[in-house]
Structure 1
């Protein structure tokens, strides 16, 4: 089992170029299935979830070429509507192929998705919306057998602004008959990115980034050339790394507007932050300040994907901070591991009370999911002595060679 071994106590200093967005490219890769012809994607991150998704595309008949950070995908020979259950179980975003394949082929047989266990994350919202659009869905031995031959555009009201359900509805509606309106849609930047890509391919989608998205179905989509946006969660993780180690960092290829809540909270914690067009500079204080209560929530609220990393920073604050997790009910798995390193955190329901301590101590800890693993790495970078973070496989799903990035900034970290 892969692990990270970290000798803490070194401030992170230097310049980092942020890579392409994990949460941006995955729905785009599913969306490629709606197109006919060749699509070229630039600035693609080399992470496990992208590799898994490309394997699924090949299973569906796509021809794939890789050139440095570009991926060339040809979908002309795609005919398969059955997705291997083992592939689906590797990651949560595999459910997006349901909307894409139903849009193109009107039929799909797909298993339930896997991914990090950070809560129930049921796909009920996806299935309810699809049924409202006329999709027939039957379950046979754990496989969802779906038929969209009678699918037509409708008004869809999502019970919760789920990112995945919003993306899946967009994918299904893009080349379906009629007009679809999605109410209470997710507003995340990744939704805007999916709209931008699909419109380049010939779609007619408006409203992404707002709670109401309008889709006029078109007959078919063609391939396109597109550059994936920078990863705002990776960027936030690197900033937190500098903050917790009393470091100084400059991020290149980053969009500050998509990270507003994280930047505001880092500023509140005492960090000096300077923004330019596509870069962010951060200098950490000698002592992190506690922050006012944080509530995670759908964009533009504080992102749940940054909650574990930011909690690591607050373990070393000069007072008490409170974080309430409102998105996922099981996203506190990092807390018990941080406490093994000397953190003082108590949990009351979905709220964590973090009392800052003078220092963290190196320990043997275990990452339970992607962001949990990242949070423990950050804690290890700041801790006294050696920290070993098990389950590097989770971290690899969303961060490309994170150990090399931190090493370039002065950290002592190796992947074993």
Structure 2
């Protein structure tokens, strides 16, 4: 099993091109099931989760091809993928596929919308909380689907098609909003989604669906209006930049010192996170090229944060910011409000010398003068990279084990950091 080896102490300087967003790419790929024509997606990131979802979609009958997969390909730019579900050959998604990635459960929406039936295994994925799918199924029921749970599978039926309805989520749910938008796009009549997720990835999916012929207004706000259409067409769409990847590298240069240009991302995708980094001592500027983050080596300041749905501080950057706070002067409080079990990285950071105390949904981080390299274990997709950030500033050598978690969400991590001065390498295992 591969490992990442890091020798800490080097500042980061240079340019990092930001990849397409994983959290946008997955629902966009799933939307290909809604039409029998070709959906072309540019700037698709090269990630294990993208490859896994392509395999799952192929099980349903999606033909999938990628431009430029040949020797000498420029891996610094995203892939262009062509997906066509000319014929749905299977409306079942088995456990052995869905259990590997939670987002693949969302195929239930286009399958029941297009075929009137779907049988999808209840999901697996990162063990960072229960994250039940009840709100996703509630949205489908509001649209007229009959839902039954049978032996670990969600069985959805709508033989006469879905019907527009009013859907009000009791709490903000990104997955629920994705599912509701996809299902309502071809439902008969109008749908109103209240308390919708406002994440940029939701707006990106809506933009793509509209290119396919859907009539969606208000995506990116808490109220989304959808007028159902009879069918959707193919389209050409570019995946938006990955704000979590950008925030991760912004945190890394705040940790190590140096000067990074995060190319291709806008400050508007990361306002809360960049404000926290500025308060901690980083300098952030932006232009039409991207976001530049600098720290001249002065000490870090302790900053309190609480995760929240967009436009609040992203839960997917919580672990990275915690790593940064391990070296800050004073005590910071980091409150996790989205997932109840997203502090698994705390014990691994402690192996590097961090001083962190947990009190319910809050981590109390007392900054230390130095971290020490050590062997650590990646625990889940996003938290794993917090260990890399800590290792970049630690004395000596850090070995991050179980890096398949990193490969699910971060494209060419060691290459991008290495090109900017980090002493980092992948060790094949």
Per the normalisation by structure 1, the TM-score is: 0.98
Partner of 1:78: 88
Verify the 8 A CA contact 1:137 1:145 in the aligned structure 2: yes
Verify the 8 A CA contact 1:289 1:319 in the aligned structure 2: no
Alignment of 1:189-200 (within 5 A): 189-200=200-211
Partner of 2:245: 234
Partner of 1:361: 372
Partner of 1:59: 59
Q: Which runs of 5+ in 2 are unaligned?
A: 69-78
Deviation at 1:42, TM superposition (A): 0.7
Q: Distance in 2 between matches of 1:285 and 1:118?
A: 35
Q: Distance in 1 between matches of 2:409 and 2:299?
A: 27
Alignment of 1:104-119 (within 5 A): 104-119=114-129
Q: Does 1:87 align with 2:97?
A: yes
Partner of 2:106: 96
Verify the 8 A CA contact 2:21 2:242 in the aligned structure 1: yes
Instruction: Report Cα offsets for 1:296-352 as digits up to 9, x if no partner.
Output: 010011000000001111111111111110000011111111111111111110001
Worse overlay, 268-277 or 140-149: 140-149
Worse overlay, 144-153 or 272-281: 144-153
Alpha-carbon RMSD across the aligned residues, in angstroms, is: 1.1
Q: Distance in 1 between matches of 2:397 and 2:142?
A: 54
Q: Distance in 1 between matches of 2:393 and 2:376?
A: 14
Q: Does 1:246 align with 2:261?
A: no
Q: Distance in 2 between matches of 1:128 and 1:72?
A: 31
Partner of 1:136: 146
Partner of 1:5: 5
Verify the 8 A CA contact 1:314 1:356 in the aligned structure 2: yes
Q: Distance in 2 between matches of 1:14 and 1:207?
A: 38
Q: Distance in 2 between matches of 1:222 and 1:147?
A: 23
Verify the 8 A CA contact 1:287 1:316 in the aligned structure 2: no
Q: Does 1:329 align with 2:345?
A: no
Verify the 8 A CA contact 2:307 2:336 in the aligned structure 1: yes
Verify the 8 A CA contact 1:344 1:357 in the aligned structure 2: yes
Q: Distance in 1 between matches of 2:369 and 2:126?
A: 32
For the residue of structure 2 that corresponds to 1:43, the secondary structure is strand
Q: Distance in 2 between matches of 1:285 and 1:201?
A: 47
Alignment of 1:247-326 (within 5 A): 247-326=258-337
Worse overlay, 63-72 or 22-31: 63-72
Partner of 2:403: 392
Question: Across the two proteins, how many residue pairs are aligned to each other?
Answer: 416
Partner of 2:41: 41
Deviation at 1:287, TM superposition (A): 3.6
Instruction: Report Cα offsets for 1:1-34 as digits up to 9, x if no partner.
Output: 2221111111111101101000011110111111
Per the normalisation by structure 2, the TM-score is: 0.95
Q: Does 1:172 align with 2:176?
A: no
Verify the 8 A CA contact 1:297 1:327 in the aligned structure 2: yes
Residue among 221, 234, 241 paired with 2:232: 221
Q: Distance in 1 between matches of 2:405 and 2:380?
A: 6
Q: Distance in 1 between matches of 2:304 and 2:8?
A: 28
Partner of 1:373: 384
Q: Distance in 2 between matches of 1:135 and 1:73?
A: 26
Partner of 1:145: 155
Worse overlay, 116-125 or 193-202: 116-125
Deviation at 1:35, TM superposition (A): 1.6
Verify the 8 A CA contact 1:287 1:317 in the aligned structure 2: no
For the residue of structure 1 that corresponds to 2:5, the secondary structure is strand
Q: Distance in 1 between matches of 2:380 and 2:298?
A: 28
Worse overlay, 144-153 or 231-240: 144-153
For the residue of structure 1 that corresponds to 2:93, the secondary structure is coil
Q: Distance in 1 between matches of 2:426 and 2:304?
A: 35
Instruction: Report Cα offsets for 1:164-216 as digits up to 9, x if no partner.
Output: 01101111111111111111100000010000000000000111111111111
Deviation at 1:285, TM superposition (A): 3.8
Verify the 8 A CA contact 2:331 2:365 in the aligned structure 1: yes
Worse overlay, 134-143 or 54-63: 134-143
Q: Which runs of 5+ in 1 are unaligned?
A: none
Partner of 1:412: 423
Verify the 8 A CA contact 2:303 2:325 in the aligned structure 1: no
Verify the 8 A CA contact 2:285 2:291 in the aligned structure 1: yes
Q: Distance in 2 between matches of 1:38 and 1:162?
A: 29
